[in-house]
Structure 1
């Protein structure tokens, strides 16, 4: 399965890198392809290294102004003109989406995919890996949106908030019919 992973390119603490690497190793050992922002820095590098070392493929989608940070040796690397084209390319090349810890860019990517899914323009499974409770506030906000009638679908139809990497990948594989 080609799995898009939205995540930070920042250098982060072990409490975030350890679960991200664990997820990456599970992805690679499962024979899956990482579709990611293509960067060879920070958490993006940690995940790409983990997937590669576990035997998975790497498909990067960088953007012109960050192409100097693109990972050399990826199985495939695309360079988009801008961030909007990059997001569209990442989604077009994937069968599922996982959101790991990140900043404003990662949050933008996560909310866009959920908005597309809400309107039926995207049917791929989406998982937010809630490492160390990082996305507890977002989960609470989405729950409030559901409770107060802002979501036309149940939150569980839009996204799974997973607490552990193994649960995230298991959900994706189950959604795709992989045993």
Structure 2
């Protein structure tokens, strides 16, 4: 099994973000769960990759060529896929992943996570999504998702759209428990050119 991890290209101001990223990498390695990530050596992405490699974890990177050309690709990740743009990066990460987890991050992290949630909602894939709520980082987002549901913009049967937890062990366990029993790529939408492509 592999979990796609979305996280920031910076480490943020809270040292708990870095600590949680390291702990997540160790947790996944201990469970023999592979990581799929954005391929960069900077920010929380770099912390995730360095921590996984340090404990012998399985990790796959997916990075757009124009980011590789800026010399931020993580050179020590043994399996690195270079793609055309951000849309293709999400597609390739989705093909390799059985579930998805977002660490603290910015609008790019949210874009990645919510696209996976949207594909689930539309039935294009059935892969659970989670938010690691480090030091309350996602409290307001969790409240927003509840408001979206109660306002009628999400059906009640999508209450499990995103699992939110501050506990790494619990969150990974929840994703594993609800992931498809066998990996299947599913009908991923076609690549469309965007600002990053």
Give 1:158 shift: 1.1
Whether 2:28 is the aligned partner of 1:2: answer no
Distance 2:172 2:5 in 1: 12
Superposition deviation, residue 54 in structure 1: 2.1
Structure 1 match to 2:84? 81
In the alignment, structure 1 residue 141 sits paired with structure 2 residue 151: no
Structure 1 segments, 4+ long, off by >6 Å, are none
For 1:4 and 1:118, locate their aligned partners in 2 and report how far apart those are by CA, in whole Å: 18
Aligned residue for 2:126? 123
Aligned equivalent of 1:158? 161
Q: Distance in 2 between matches of 1:51 and 1:169?
A: 15
More helix by share: 1
The alignment's TM-score, normalised by the length of structure 2, stands at 0.85
Question: 2:64, 2:89 within 8 Å by CA — same for their partners in 1?
Answer: yes
The runs of 5 or more residues in structure 2 that have no matched partner are: 182-197
Q: How does 1:164-175 map to 2 (within 5 A)?
A: 164-175=167-178
Alpha carbons 2:121, 2:158 under 8 Å: kept:
no
Partners of 1:138 and 1:33 lie apart in 2 by 27
Whether the 8 Å CA contact 1:131–1:163 is kept in 2: the answer is yes
The residue number in structure 1 matching 2:51 is 50
Residue from 94, 97, 103 that aligns with 1:94: 97
Please report the RMSD computed on the Cα atoms of aligned residues, expressed in angstroms.
Answer: 1.4
Aligned length: 177
Structure 1 length-normalised TM? 0.93
Structure 1, unaligned runs of 5 or more: none
